[in-house]
Amino acid sequence: MLKVLKPGFYTTVQDTGRFGYRDIGVPVSGVMDNKALAIANSLLENEEDAAVLEITMTGPTLEFEEKTYIALSGAIMNPTLNNNPIVNNKVYRVQEKDILSYGRLDKGLRSYLAIKGGWQTKKVLGSRSYFKAITLVECVADHTEIPYIPCASFEPKIPEMPIESHFEEKVLQVSKGPEYALLLDRQLEKIFGNEFKVAKDYNRMAYQLMETVAEHNINMLTSATLPGTVQLTPSGKLIILMKDGQTTGGYPRILQLSDDAIALLSQKKMGDSISFKLM
Amino acid sequence: MRGFSPAIRSFGIHAVLLEWPNEVDEDILTDILQFCQYLQQFCPKEQGWEMIPAYNSLTLVQKNSVIDFKAFSHDLLKWYRSKEEIAPAQKFLWRLPVCYDLDFGIDLAELSEKLSISIPELIDLHTKNTYTVYGIGFLPGFMYLGGLPKSLETPRKAMPRLKVLKGAVGLAGRQTGIYPQESPGGWNIIGNCIVPIFDIKRENPCLVRVGDKIQFYAISRAEYDLHKIESEVGIYKLEKIKVDA
């Protein structure tokens, strides 16, 4: 078991997501930064959908009860193992009673903690990804325990990977969304000719942007939305749906982020700049 | 039955959107669901496909691979044209008990005044029609219901509430619906339906499917309290009736 001594700001269990239930309104969920998940899980030679902890903004303090191996990836949060600094993208051996804690957030927003074999919380509808209405827990709480399978010895084929971060990158690659053709020239100019800043409402459900584009009165019937769908509200606000985003919506879907763009955006926080580029 | 020719649009590299005319129409929904049924053989769930029907659209999502839009839309058109009159999936009418007690129907008094109909008349109107499930989304198990009597159409509240109770039955615009879980919301609340339309403890958490029908019936506070307990211990059985296609 992993003992949660302090939960951090917002820590959740996530895997690659919950598929096959969108037709009953269940969002996909899963890690926000797919690329970081892939690095940590491949270092540990885990299944690609092994569950990790997604750690947001400020990290938790965690105590391991059994031997295992871990790898961290994503945001740079100055982690320490028994007070010794450790780095992202590297496999570490963990002993009984070892304590992992996190320091200041330097770069990015979401950091990942992968463990050999993956976190073993209960699967609900085929996934371990936390989503309140489905898993009944929203995030990791104080004094809870998270199960894992102990591992006494493991020889990683690749013990370390370079940290090639996309934290400075701000161009989001997008394709045209289903309602793209309804955009007016002045709206297109604004969307592709300017940078936008992340507004104060940004979370696993959606990222809102501060700057607006021209208002519209396009009236459409509710239809499916996806992670990475950019919606344009009647008042001209841009809302980018993320992994916990609702499965249907009634606003025009003007753009669709690429998978890499979703990963990139998920490391942004309020005030960070982004821009859109058509693929 | 009218003939249609759905438009096919790309929606990122993992999804394709099919669109029928921009109308809330039973024939359109039936055509979509029939095509959905026919597509199961070409786009099975086991191969990572998901199909999301809603009002006048059908979205196909592929989890594992990138969709070759040109080739796939060609196939879709071919399949749509060759779709025979296959039997649509069995539809059900679900009868759902609603307690219109003033404790739950917190906007009943205000609505009665605004719409100039008495509260008993309002309840009669709400329970008289059968509604069609045009989509499920927004929240897990939230049904978009069409078929509200014109006299009950009313704008959503100017200021949304921060907290609407689980099971709250609301009116907004031309729609009526049930909040499947506690959430913020701007609908006018007229009652509460506590029976579990979405229950994560079931293997199939949402029994109602798009295309099904819903009818509400009024129950007393005592019956409501009984159903609440039955639901909590998992013995409440939703009442369903087969609907002929």
Given an 8 Å threshold on Cβ–Cβ distance, is A20 in contact with B53? no
Question: What range defines the domain where residue B156 resides?
Answer: 91-243
Residues of A whose CB is below 8 A from B136: 23-25, 248
**Of the residues B82, B100, B122, the one at which a domain ends:** B82
Residue B113 maps to a domain? yes
Q: Provide the CATH number for the domain around residue B18.
A: 3.30.1360.40
Cα angle, residue A80 at apex, residues A76 and A86 outer, rounded to 5°? 65
User: Do B33 and B136 belong to one domain?
Assistant: no
Q: What is the DSSP string of B116-168?
A: T--HHHHHHHHHHS-EEEEEE-SSTT-EEEE---GGG-BPPPSS-EEEE-TTE
Question: How close does chain A come to B162, measured CA to CA in Å?
Answer: 16
As for the ipTM of the complex, it is 0.94
Residues of B whose CB is below 8 A from A248: 52, 54, 135-138, 144
Q: What is the pTM of this model?
A: 0.94
Given an 8 Å threshold on Cβ–Cβ distance, is B137 in contact with A134? no
The domain total for chain B is: 2
User: Do B233 and B116 belong to one domain?
Assistant: yes
Specify the DSSP class assigned to residue B40. Answer: T
Average pLDDT value over all residues in chain B: 93
CA atoms of B138 and B183, how far apart (whole Å): 11
**Residue of A24, A124, A226 lying closest to B12 (CB–CB):** A226
Given an 8 Å threshold on Cβ–Cβ distance, is B200 in contact with A125? yes
Is B61 in CB contact (< 8 Å) with chain A? yes
Q: Which fold has domain A171-278?
A: Cyclophilin (2.40.100)
User: Do B132 and B204 belong to one domain?
Assistant: yes
| Predicted local confidence at residue B38, as pLDDT | 93
Given an 8 Å threshold on Cβ–Cβ distance, is A224 in contact with B15? yes
CA atoms of A234 and A252, how far apart (whole Å): 9
Is B47 in CB contact (< 8 Å) with chain A? no
Rounded to 5 degrees, what are φ and ψ at A128? -95, -5
For A26-50, what is the mean pLDDT? 97
Residues of A whose CB is below 8 A from B55: 221-223
Residues in Cβ contact with A157 at an 8 Å cutoff, skipping those fewer than 6 apart: A45
User: Do B57 and B13 belong to one domain?
Assistant: yes
User: Do B70 and B97 belong to one domain?
Assistant: no
CA nearest to B140 within chain A:
A25
Q: Provide the CATH number for the domain around residue B140.
A: 2.40.100.10
Residue B48, CB-side half-sphere exposure with 13 Å CA sphere: 9
How far from the centroid of its chain's Cα atoms is residue A153's Cα?
30
CA atoms of A119 and A128, how far apart (whole Å): 9
Residue B1 maps to a domain? no
- Return the residue in B25, B56, B138 with the most chain A beta carbons within 10 A, the one to mutate for interface testing: B138
User: Do B172 and B62 belong to one domain?
Assistant: no
**Of the residues B51, B82, B113, the one at which a domain ends:** B82
**Of the residues B82, B105, B131, the one at which a domain ends:** B82
Q: Where are the beta strands (DSSP E) in chain A?
A: 2-6, 10-14, 52-56, 61-64, 68-76, 80-81, 84-85, 91-94, 99-101, 107-115, 145-146, 171-176, 196-202, 206-209, 223-224, 229-232, 238-241, 248-249, 253-257, 273-278
Sign of CA dihedral A52, A243, A266, A41: positive
Residue B2 maps to a domain? no
For B88-117, what is the mean pLDDT? 95
Q: How confident is the model at residue B89 (pLDDT cuts 50, 70, 90)?
A: confident
Q: Residue B211: helix, strand or coil by DSSP? A: coil
**Residues of each domain in chain A carrying CATH 2.40.100.10:** 171-278
Residue B145 maps to a domain? yes
Is B9 in CB contact (< 8 Å) with chain A? yes
Q: Residue A238: helix, strand or coil by DSSP? A: strand
User: Do B140 and B50 belong to one domain?
Assistant: no
Residue B22, CB-side half-sphere exposure with 13 Å CA sphere: 7
Residues of B whose CB is below 8 A from A136: 200
Q: Among A244, A266, A270, A246, which residue's Cα sits nearest to residue A257?
A: A266
For A24-31, what is the mean pLDDT? 97
The predicted-structure confidence for A197-217, as pLDDT tens digits, reads as follows: 999 999 999 999 999 999 888
Given an 8 Å threshold on Cβ–Cβ distance, is A177 in contact with B55? no
CB B134 within 8 A of CB B29: yes
Residues of B whose CB is below 8 A from A20: 45, 50
User: Do B46 and B123 belong to one domain?
Assistant: no
The predicted-structure confidence for A142-176, as pLDDT tens digits, reads as follows: 999 999 999 999 999 999 999 877 899 999 999 99
Given an 8 Å threshold on Cβ–Cβ distance, is B50 in contact with A136? no
Average pLDDT value over all residues in chain A: 96
User: Do B151 and B52 belong to one domain?
Assistant: no
Residues in Cβ contact with A278 at an 8 Å cutoff, skipping those fewer than 6 apart: A174, A175, A176, A192
User: Do B157 and B220 belong to one domain?
Assistant: yes
Q: How confident is the model at residue B1 (pLDDT cuts 50, 70, 90)?
A: low
Q: What is the DSSP string of A85-132?
A: E--SSBEEEE-TT-EEE-----EEEEEEEEETT---PPPBTTB----H
Given an 8 Å threshold on Cβ–Cβ distance, is B17 in contact with A224? yes
Q: Which residues are paired to B99 by β-bridges?
A: B192, B219
Question: How close does chain B come to A224, measured CA to CA in Å?
Answer: 6
The predicted-structure confidence for B186-230, as pLDDT tens digits, reads as follows: 899 999 999 989 999 888 899 899 999 999 999 999 999 999 999
Residue B170 maps to a domain? yes
User: Do B169 and B213 belong to one domain?
Assistant: yes
